[in-house]
Amino acid sequence: MAGAVTETLRTAGGPVDLGFAARFLAGWPPATHAGASADGALRLAFVRDDLEGAGGVTLRGGDGAEVAASLSGGATVPQVRRVFGLDLDGAAFAALGQRDPLLGALQARAPAGARPVLFGSVYEAAAWAVLGARTPVTRAAALRRALIADHGEAVDLDGERWRAFPAPRALLAVHTVPGVADEKLRRLHAVAGAALDGVLDADVLASLPADEALARLKSVRGIGDFYAMLILLRAVGVRDVLPGSEPRILAAAARLIGRDRPLTADEFAEISARWSPFRTWASFLLRTAHI
């Protein structure tokens, strides 16, 4: 791959808070990430959208609405923009909060530039779904780290060496993983095959109605209802899809309105209808209000 390419990336509107993104990644088990580097930069290695290997990015804050990005290993601007929510219009989101007191209260609890941070690729999210199924989250994260260490490709990120999750062809060449049952490995291989067949293409999934995208994800061996929704919300970059009945978000929504019991999915849908077309972003803030 060619050397690093430096770009200035502006948001579609409103600020971006890289400190928030770093804290989120550090506390999010699927990311297996340590947060900001010692020099204050945010670095991330991931499987490129072309699925042929590892790319990565080093991000540094700019004037609030822009970041300086050093892209390595063939990483592309559209993928970085998707992962860090830079195509979301923060000014329009803030204006919506001014019109809706509940959303405004939610926004006031979060840093002004808090944006959804996604999996590096849809493929990685699907692999996490397989690793995480019926497995304690700490164990799943350890398995992900082991796969990265043993089979992931390294990429130079502005002077630091980072490894990404193994790309699909590399994962298909893995025939044993300590602590991973044969069926789970078969499901990981199914995810890799589906990615190479185009089933996990982020742009295609984003273009589909939510029910069709979910059905497409559930066609992959080992991906059920819960993880299909997780992939759609946390990797594809959809903007106006609700998380259904995720207990953590329903409980946070109840606290937002001063209720001592979690909302039902229907109650949450009714309350959040006013937050369209940013219901996915609002749900992310509900989930991360403590960061």
C-alpha distances (whole Å) from 263 to each of 249, 266, 269, 277 are 9, 8, 10, 21
Measured CA to CA, the distance from residue 291 to residue 108 in angstroms comes to 13
Average pLDDT over residues 73-95: 98
Would the pLDDT of 1 be above 70?
Answer: no
Would the pLDDT of 32 be above 90?
Answer: yes
Rg (CA), the chain: 19
pLDDT band at 244 (very low <50, low <70, confident <90, very high): confident
The pTM assigned to this predicted structure is: 0.95
pLDDT at 2: 57
pLDDT band at 291 (very low <50, low <70, confident <90, very high): low
Could you tell me if 202 and 236 are in contact, meaning their C-beta atoms sit under 8 angstroms apart? yes
pLDDT band at 289 (very low <50, low <70, confident <90, very high): confident
CA atoms within 13 A on the CB side of 145: 10
